[in-house]
């Protein structure tokens, strides 16, 4: 069980990200509530499909107001310090896998995934990335195509 | 009932059950040992693979990962001072100093034995209590179910540290995600934006893999370099406690087990709370509290017993009521539903073979873990030297193929990426992911029970306070909400002045 309890003790004034996320939640809540109302809330006796969206949307919007209040009172994270490199390369590698696993087959998709994704870590060497790609291709072929018999082509 | 128990143990001892139990606990130990790979990520990686298995075997394997990780997690925290899981952070407090003093072998042995004792006592209690609770719950109507689930959600989201608003908002976000798809009662599709992939709703695996797998990778890259484990020599002899040491750990282990079982069985408070509490109690109990944090053997015995008993006891509410205590239990519940099993009090009477088979496998699994963690400890220590930059590409690969193999939809991989990025933002801004997962899994069930209750009462809300049980549940729920509002307000109102950054 790995809960993510990164240190978020709010000491500094909250930054753009904090307010941005709270605003997103507020808008999402309002949108969900509005759609619920459109779909049809119904009556207590015969509840419509829009009842729960309405209730959930209103709660989400109300809670995001609570978050706003808390942020303005207690502060929050002033900025997000996330290294850019993994943020770009990890999603990119997964997107490439998604795009190639069908047309090209499992092994080319795996090789591309590893060769792009592994370099998300700046200390990665070409040799290590290549070896990892080969090893995972073999494991993937044996485990998923031979072992579990997934209907995927190797190439 | 005895014939059911026998039947279950027979199932647990069958060849395929033994094999998959072994795979489960081995994978669990592996992810527990390795810092940066969580049990939830591992369980969600393995879930698609279990679609091909018999449901009982699938649950045996997934559960094995879960409790196996608790055993494994102490290794890295003792040898590296890097906890594999949150609960193991407590073990590091006294375990790492022991390793520095050259007593690593002893620390590893004690944590394993205490884990085993804590785990097995909790299993016995689970065998006793689960059927009793389940049969009491058989008389529950939809109104009570709705209230119990609401209570579970409220507990799980308000006990967490950090902002109450943020964690409650994550419950609401989880409920929102659970809304996506076709409404079962009316056939109206909600929030599908015309995408066929969404008509059946978002599936559990991309959410869990994104929030707990990809987000974790994004968080960990560049973090920990390679470290050299603080091993010294680990021979079998160095692992054995002396007679005096045996005597010191007996009582802490039992106290830890008691705390773990009680806390673990309550919905909403999992192994983390139990472990910290066990450590605190032990320190207060001790005549020499100053030794804690400097390699006190009681300081690893009690928390380890507590986290393993909590993990086993967490199955009590999950299997008897269908109310998961934490995100992992919620995930296992979701996995059961994917396998077509309806969780709840009827589970035990409808699927006795599966329930008792699972319980039987816990015994098997704990014995296997004893073997894996004492004679084979050297193997796991070697694992610690695997660099993270080999590990995370492998995780990425398993995530991609795992999620793709569910429905062969590229869309699901896109969802994982999306939830990974959302998870990253949540981690950084202090939005806990566990309440989201709980809301997502419990939401649809709650809606169902809510509607059914109101249908039965012909639209009168009084059904929620007509029966004594529901009144009690409702009062508990109200008390909890008021309490968390009070904490939130206390933090905000002028009494506790917000720190000012000198302008």
Using CB atoms, pick whichever of B218, B405, B429 lies closest to residue A18. Answer: B429
Chain A, 22-41: which have a CB under 8 Å from a chain B CB? 25, 28-29, 32, 35, 39-40
Q: Is the pLDDT of residue B226 over 70?
A: no
Q: In 3D, which of B203, B198, B172, B204 has the Cα closest to residue B183? A: B198
Q: What was the pLDDT predicted at B84?
A: 66
The predicted-structure confidence for B32-57, as pLDDT tens digits, reads as follows 888 767 788 888 888 888 888 899 99
Mean pLDDT of chain B: 85
Mean pLDDT of the region A106-118? 94
Task: Identify from B214, B397, B497 which residue to disrupt to test chain A contact, counting A C-beta atoms within 10 A and taking the largest count.
Answer: B397
A50, A60, A76 ranked by CB distance to B173: nearest:
A60
Q: Would residue B500 count as lying in a domain? A: no
Q: According to the model, what pLDDT value does residue B159 have? A: 65
Query: Can you name the residues that pair with B182 across neighbouring β-strands?
Result: B189
Q: Kindly report the nearest CA distance between residue A46 and chain B, in angstroms.
A: 7
* Mean pLDDT to the nearest integer, B75-88: 78
Percentage of chain B with pLDDT > 70? 93
pLDDT of residue B161: 66
Q: Is pLDDT at B64 greater than 90 in this prediction?
A: yes
**Among chain B residues, CA nearest to A129:** B390
Work out the mean pLDDT of chain A and round it to a whole number.
86
Contacts of A113 in chain B (CB under 8 A): 393, 396-397, 400
- Residue B420, pLDDT score: 94
Nearest to B324 by CA among B347, B351, B356: B347
Contact A44 B454 (CB under 8 A): yes
Helical spans, DSSP H, in A40-147: 51-74, 84-100, 106-117, 126-140
Structure tokens at B268: 């909403």
Asked if residue B170 belongs to a domain, the reply is yes
Give the per-residue pLDDT at B223.
58
pLDDT band at B337 (very low <50, low <70, confident <90, very high): confident
B140 is a domain residue: yes
Looking at residue A110, its pLDDT comes to 95
Q: Which of helix, strand or coil describes residue A103? A: coil
Q: Report pLDDT for B199.
A: 83
Is the CB of residue B165 less than 8 Å away from at least one CB of chain A?
Answer: yes
Residues 101-160 of B with CB under 8 A from A: none
**Nearest residue to B122 via CA among B266, B298, B316, B281:** B316
d(CA A21, CA B283): 41
Contact B205, B47 (CB under 8 A): yes
pLDDT score of B496: 45
Number of domains into which chain B is organized: 1
B501 in a structural domain: no
CB B179, CB B191: distance < 8 Å? yes
Q: Alpha helices, DSSP H only, in B314-409? A: 315-320, 327-338, 346-350, 352-373, 377-383, 388-407
Contact B348, B136 (CB under 8 A): no
Q: Collect all residues of chain A within an 8 Å Cβ-Cβ radius of residue B271.
A: 1
Whether B413 contacts chain A with CB within 8 A:
yes
The predicted structure's pLDDT at residue B13: 92
B chain contacts of residue A86, beta-carbon cutoff 8 Å: 217-218, 221-222
Say whether B451 and A47 touch across the interface (CB within 8 A): yes
B496 inside domain: no
Burial bucket for residue B218 (CB in 10 Å: 0-12, 13-18, 19+): buried
Is there a domain that residue B91 lies in?
A: yes
Place B500 in a pLDDT band, splitting at 50, 70 and 90: very low
DSSP B266-277: STT--HHHHHHH
Q: Which of A8, A94, A148 sits opposite B417 (nearest CB)?
A: A94
Greater pLDDT, B356 or B485:
B356
User: How many whole angstroms separate alpha carbon B370 and alpha carbon B1?
Assistant: 29
The pLDDT of residue A26:
96
Q: Which residue has the tokens 């076709």?
A: B182
Provide the residue ranges of all domains of chain A, joining segments of one domain with +: 16-74, 84-147
Residue of A nearest to B394 (CA): A136
Closest CA to B157 of B503, B493, B455, B488: B488
Taking CB atoms and an 8 Å cutoff, what residues of chain A touch B414? 95, 98
The answer to whether A74 and B498 are in contact (CB under 8 A) is: yes
Cα angle, residue B133 at apex, residues B258 and B167 outer, rounded to 5°: 70
- Residue A2's region, left for phi above 0, alpha for psi from -120 to 50, else beta, is beta
The C-alpha atoms of residue B41 and residue B403 are separated, in whole angstroms, by 12
pLDDT at residue B377, rounded to an integer: 84
pLDDT category, B378, cuts 50, 70, 90?
confident
Residue of B41, B158, B219, B393 to mutate for A, most A C-beta atoms under 10 A: B393
Helices B164-179 and A51-74 cross at an angle (nearest 10°) of 150
Q: Provide the sign of the torsion angle of the four alpha carbons B466, B471, B477, B481, taken in this order.
A: positive
Residues B231 and B278 sit within 8 Å (Cβ to Cβ): no
Closest residue on chain A to B404 (Cα): A98
Higher pLDDT, B374 or A45: B374
What is the structure's pLDDT at A32?
Answer: 93
What is the reported pLDDT for A58? 95
| Residue B313 forms part of a structural domain | yes
CB-CB neighbours of B501 under 10 Å:
10
Residue B83 has pLDDT above 90, yes or no: no
Q: How far is it, in rounded angstroms, from Cα A103 to Cα B382?
A: 39
B426-483 pLDDT tens trace: 988 989 888 898 889 888 888 888 888 888 888 888 888 888 888 888 898 888 888 8
- pLDDT bin (cut points 50, 70, 90) of residue B494 is low
Q: Which residues of chain B are within 8 Å of residue A116 when distances are taken between CB atoms? A: none
Is residue B24 pLDDT above 90, yes or no?
yes
A21 vs B425: CB contact, 8 Å cut-off? yes
Q: Is the dihedral of CA B349, B355, B356, B357 positive or negative?
A: positive
Phi/psi for A3 (5° steps) reads -75, 150
- Residue A117 with chain B: CB contacts under 8 Å: 392-393, 396
On whether any CB of chain B is under 8 Å from the CB of A59, the answer is yes
Domain of B395? 2-490
Q: Which residue of B has its CA nearest to A124?
A: B389
Residues B155-206 have pLDDT tens digits of: 777 766 678 889 889 999 999 999 998 887 777 888 888 788 888 888 888 8
Instruction: Please tell me the predicted confidence (pLDDT) of residue B119.
Output: 92
Q: What is the mean pLDDT of residues A135-147?
A: 88
CA distance B408 to A68: 41
Q: Each residue of A25-71: pLDDT tens digit?
A: 999 999 999 998 888 888 777 778 888 899 999 999 999 999 998 88
**pLDDT for A1:** 35
Helices of type H across B82-179: 88-100, 104-137, 142-158, 164-179
| Chain B environment of A5 (Cβ under 8 Å) | 86, 161-162
Contact B397 A83 (CB under 8 A): no
Contacts of B71 in chain A (CB under 8 A): none
What confidence tens digit (pLDDT) does each residue in B100-112 have? 888 888 999 999 9
Q: What is the distance between the alpha carbons of residues A129 and B459, in angstroms, rounded to a whole number?
A: 62
Q: Cα–Cα distance between B302 and B279 in angstroms, integer?
A: 6
What span, in angstroms and rounded, lies between the C-alpha atoms of B409 and B312? 35
**pLDDT tens for each residue of B315-336:** 998 888 888 877 888 888 888 8
How many angstroms separate the CA atoms of B112 and B32, rounded? 13
Percent over 90 (pLDDT), chain B: 23
Q: For residue B503, what pLDDT is reported?
A: 33
């Amino acid at each position: 069980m790995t809960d993510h309890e990164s240190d978020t003790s709010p000491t500094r004034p909250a930054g753009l990200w904090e307010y941005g996320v709270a605003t997103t939640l507020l808008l999402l809540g309002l949108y969900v509530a509005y759609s619920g109302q459109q779909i049809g809330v119904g009556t207590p006796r015969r509840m419509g499909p829009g009842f729960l969206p309405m209730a959930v949307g209103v709660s989400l919007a109300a809670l995001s107001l609570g978050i706003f209040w808390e942020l303005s009172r207690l502060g929050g994270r002033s900025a997000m310090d996330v290294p850019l490199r993994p943020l770009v390369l990890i999603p990119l590698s997964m997107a490439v896998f998604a795009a190639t696993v069908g047309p090209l087959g499992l092994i080319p998709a795996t090789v591309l995934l590893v060769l792009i994704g592994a370099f998300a870590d700046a200390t990665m060497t070409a040799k290590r990335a290549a070896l990892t790609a080969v090893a995972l291709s073999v494991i993937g072929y044996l485990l998923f195509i031979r072992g579990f018999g997934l209907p995927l082509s190797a190439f | 009932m005895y014939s059911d128990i026998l039947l279950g143990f027979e199932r647990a001892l069958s060849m395929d059950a033994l094999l998959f139990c072994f795979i489960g606990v081995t994978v669990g130990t592996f992810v527990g040992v390795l810092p940066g790979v969580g049990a939830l990520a591992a369980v969600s990686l393995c879930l698609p693979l279990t679609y091909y298995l018999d449901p009982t075997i699938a649950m045996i394997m997934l559960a094995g990962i879960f409790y196996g990780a608790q055993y494994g997690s102490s290794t890295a925290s003792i040898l590296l001072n890097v906890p594999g899981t949150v609960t193991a952070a407590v073990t590091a407090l006294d375990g790492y100093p022991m390793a520095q003093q050259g007593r690593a072998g002893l620390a590893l042995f004690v944590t394993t034995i205490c884990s085993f004792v804590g785990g097995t006592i909790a299993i016995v209690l689970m065998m006793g209590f689960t059927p009793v609770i389940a049969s009491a719950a058989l008389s529950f109507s939809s109104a009570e179910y709705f209230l119990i689930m609401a209570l579970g959600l409220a507990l799980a989201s308000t006990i967490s540290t950090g902002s109450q608003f943020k964690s409650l908002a994550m419950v609401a976000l989880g409920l929102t995600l659970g809304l996506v798809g076709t409404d079962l009662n009316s056939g109206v599709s909600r929030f599908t934006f015309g995408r066929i992939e969404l008509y059946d709703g978002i599936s559990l695996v991309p959410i869990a893999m994104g929030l707990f797998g990809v987000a974790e990778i994004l968080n960990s890259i560049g973090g920990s370099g390679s470290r050299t484990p603080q091993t010294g020599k680990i021979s079998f002899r160095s692992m054995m406690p002396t007679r005096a040491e045996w005597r010191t750990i007996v009582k802490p282990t039992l106290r830890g087990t008691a705390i773990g079982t009680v806390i673990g069985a309550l919905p909403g408070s999992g192994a983390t709370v139990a472990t910290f509490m066990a450590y605190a109690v032990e320190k207060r109990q001790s005549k020499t509290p100053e030794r804690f944090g400097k390699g006190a053997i009681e300081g690893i015995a009690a928390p380890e017993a507590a986290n393993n008993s909590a993990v086993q006891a967490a199955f009590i509410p999950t299997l008897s009521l269908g109310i998961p205590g934490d995100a992992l239990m919620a995930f296992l519940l979701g996995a059961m539903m994917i396998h077509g099993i309806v969780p709840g009090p009827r589970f035990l009477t409808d699927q006795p073979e599966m329930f008792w088979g699972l319980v039987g496998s816990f015994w098997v699994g704990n014995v296997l873990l004893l073997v894996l963690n004492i004679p084979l400890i050297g193997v796991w220590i070697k694992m610690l030297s695997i660099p993270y930059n080999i590990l995370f590409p492998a995780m990425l690969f398993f995530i991609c193929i795992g999620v793709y193999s569910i429905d062969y939809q590229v869309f699901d991989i896109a969802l994982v990426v999306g939830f990974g990025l959302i998870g990253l933002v949540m981690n950084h801004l202090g939005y806990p992911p566990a309440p989201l997962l709980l809301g997502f899994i419990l939401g649809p069930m709650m809606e169902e029970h809510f509607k059914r209750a109101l249908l039965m009462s012909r639209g009168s809300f009084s059904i929620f306070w007509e029966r004594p049980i529901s009144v009690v549940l409702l009062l508990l729920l109200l008390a909890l909400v008021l309490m968390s509002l009070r904490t939130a307000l206390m933090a905000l109102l002028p009494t506790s002045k917000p720190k000012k950054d000198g302008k």
